[in-house]
Amino acid sequence: MRKENPIIYADYPDPDIIRVEDVYYMCTTTMHVFPGGEILRSRDLLHWEHCAYAYDALNEHPGQRLDDGKGIYGQGMWAGCLRHHGGLFHLVFMCNDTHSAYYFTAENAEGPWTRHPMAGFYHDPSILFDDDGRVYIAYGNRDIRITELEADLSAPRPGGLDRLVIHDDCDGLGWEGSHLYKLNGKYYLLGIHWLKGSLRAQGCYVAESLEGDFRGGEILCQPFHGRNDGPAQGGMVQTPQGDWYLMLFQDHGAVGRIPVLVPMRWENDYPVVDGVPAYFEGETVACKPLVESASLRNGLSDVWQWNHEPHGELIHQDKNGLRLTTDRVVSRLPQSVNTLTQRTFGPRCSVEVTVEGGELNDGDFAGLCALQGHFGQIALTREGGSYALAMTTHEGEMARIPWHCASVRLRACFDFETDTVRFFYLDDEWKQLGGAHQLRYMLDHFMGVRAGLFCYSMEKYGGSAVFADFVYTIV
C-alpha cells in the first residue's frame, strides 16, 4: 500500500509525538474550538485516528463562549507538549486568550484527563522529565529559555536552573517551536525559524548538559508537495525497530497546516534529514476516519467540534435531527454560537446537509458554511414570512433567490488546489448559488477552513433550525 505524504491532508498543526509500547500518540493545536486538546493515535505513523480530547471546556472567561461580544478566534489552545512519564500521560499547553499555562494528566490516553495547577506562561512549551527526577521546560520565541519546574509542574523551582540557551535577532521569525529531549546523555532542542527571503526551517541544537552550550543549526529547509513552504516544527520519535522520524507540519493555504512525516538518521550524535519523501510504502491499517457523515439524529461523534465552547441549552437532538436555537442577535457568521464544525480535507472535499427551517424567525439564517476569517456560507433565510436562499461572504451578501418551502438540501464543495469553495442547493438537480468564493488562511482565525452547520438571528432571537443527513465526501 502506498501512503502519500503529507500523511493527513487536514489542519493538525504544531504536532508533538510520542510512542508508548507499540502505539504512537500525537497532540496538535486546537485553538478556539471545543472540545480541545485533541490527541490522535496510530500504530504505524501513517494512519491516524482520534483518541481523546483533554477537555470539553475551560470555563475561563466569556470570550471562550462568544459571550459579551467577545471571542477567542485565533487564540485558545496552542502548541501542546505530550509526554509519557511515571505511568501517566502528560499534556502541557498555553492559551493565548488567558495568557495562562494548562497541565493535564491521564492514566490512559483515552482519558479521563485531569487538570492540575500550573503557574506562568511559556510560549511553545516542551517538558523534559530528566533521569534524576528533575523537570524542565523549554520555551520562547527568539529568546529560547530552559527553566526548572517543581516536580509537580506547578511553578518554577526556586533556585533552579533558568537560563537563556538561544538568542535569535534575525530579520524574520526567530527560533520557536521548542521540543526538548535527552538521548544517550545528551540534550537535544528542536525548533524552527523563518529567515526573511527563505523558507520555514527545522533546526536542532545539542548540548552535553543543560548548563552547557547548545550548538547546532538548520537540519531541514526545502519546499515540498508543490509548495514553496518548508515542513518544520514538531517532535521526533523512534519506532520499535529503531528507526527515527520527525513529525512536522507544512503551511498549505486555506486547508491549514498539515502533518508531514520525515525520516531522519543519526550521524555523530546529530540528526540528519536526507529529504522529505512524497509517499511511504506500508500495510493498510484499519482506523476510524478523522471526518465522517452523520444522520445527526442520535449523538455526535468525536470528529465534531464547536466554533467556541458550546451553549448546551440551545442544542437538541431527536428523531428529526439536530436542532440549533438562537439566544441573541448577531450581525455575521463568526459571532454565531454553536456553529458545529469538522475539518476540511484536501485536495478536495464536499459536505451536504438538509436544513428544515419551519421555526426560523424573520432575519434568521441557517445553513452550511466555510468557517474562517474570509468565511462563506449558504443559508435558508426568512423575511416577511417568505423563504429565500442566500449566499454570503465576509464581504456581504453575494446572491439571493426566493425559495418555495421551509426545507432545503445544501452542499459546499471545497477545492484546495485553488483554495475556493462553491455553494449549491438541490432543486431537482444541484444548482450553484453565487460564484466561487476565495478562501484565505489568515492569522485572525489561525486555523484551516472548517465546514460548519450554523443558525443565527439578525433581527429577533429564539428561532431554530433542524439539520439532518450530513454527508462528507473526500474527493
Which residue's C-alpha cell is 428529526? Answer: 320
> CA–CA distance from 272 to each of 179, 181, 244, 318 (Å)?
16, 16, 10, 55
Q: What pLDDT digit, counting tens, does each position of 424-451 carry?
A: 999 999 999 999 999 999 999 999 999 9
Q: Residue 402 and residue 408: Cα distance in Å, rounded?
A: 12
Q: What is the pLDDT confidence band of residue 173, given thresholds at 50, 70 and 90?
A: confident
Q: What pLDDT digit, counting tens, does each position of 293-314 carry?
A: 999 999 999 999 999 999 999 9
Whether 218 shows a pLDDT value over 90: the answer reads yes
Shortest CA distance to 17 belongs to which of 32, 4, 7, 9? Answer: 7
Whether 196 shows a pLDDT value over 90: the answer reads no
Domains in the chain with CATH codes: 2-281 (2.115.10.20), 305-474 (2.60.120.200)
Shortest CA distance to 323 belongs to which of 289, 281, 364, 286? Answer: 364
Q: What pLDDT digit, counting tens, does each position of 70-95 carry?
A: 999 999 999 999 999 999 999 999 99
Range 224-235 average pLDDT: 94
Range 125-151 average pLDDT: 98
Q: What pLDDT digit, counting tens, does each position of 373-421 carry?
A: 999 999 999 999 899 999 999 999 999 999 999 999 999 999 999 999 9
Q: Residue 76 and residue 36: Cα distance in Å, rounded?
A: 9
> CA–CA distance from 382 to each of 131, 387, 431, 465 (Å)?
65, 4, 20, 11
| E strand or H helix that includes residue 191 | strand 186-195
Share of the chain above pLDDT 70, in %: 100
**Can you read off the three cell numbers belonging to residue 254?**
486555506
Q: pLDDT value at position 180? A: 99
Q: pLDDT value at position 228? A: 86
More confident residue, 170 or 322: 322
> CA–CA distance from 327 to each of 84, 333, 450 (Å)?
43, 14, 23
Q: pLDDT value at position 171? A: 82
Q: Which residues pair with 182 in a beta bridge?
A: 187
DSSP state of 209: S
Q: What pLDDT digit, counting tens, does each position of 38-55 carry?
A: 999 999 999 999 999 999
Q: What pLDDT digit, counting tens, does each position of 245-282 carry?
A: 999 999 999 999 999 999 999 999 999 999 999 999 98
Q: pLDDT value at position 219? A: 98
Share of the chain above pLDDT 90, in %: 95
Identify whether the C-beta of residue 329 lies closer than 8 Å to the C-beta of residue 457.
yes
Whether 60 shows a pLDDT value over 80: the answer reads no
What's the chain's average pLDDT? 97
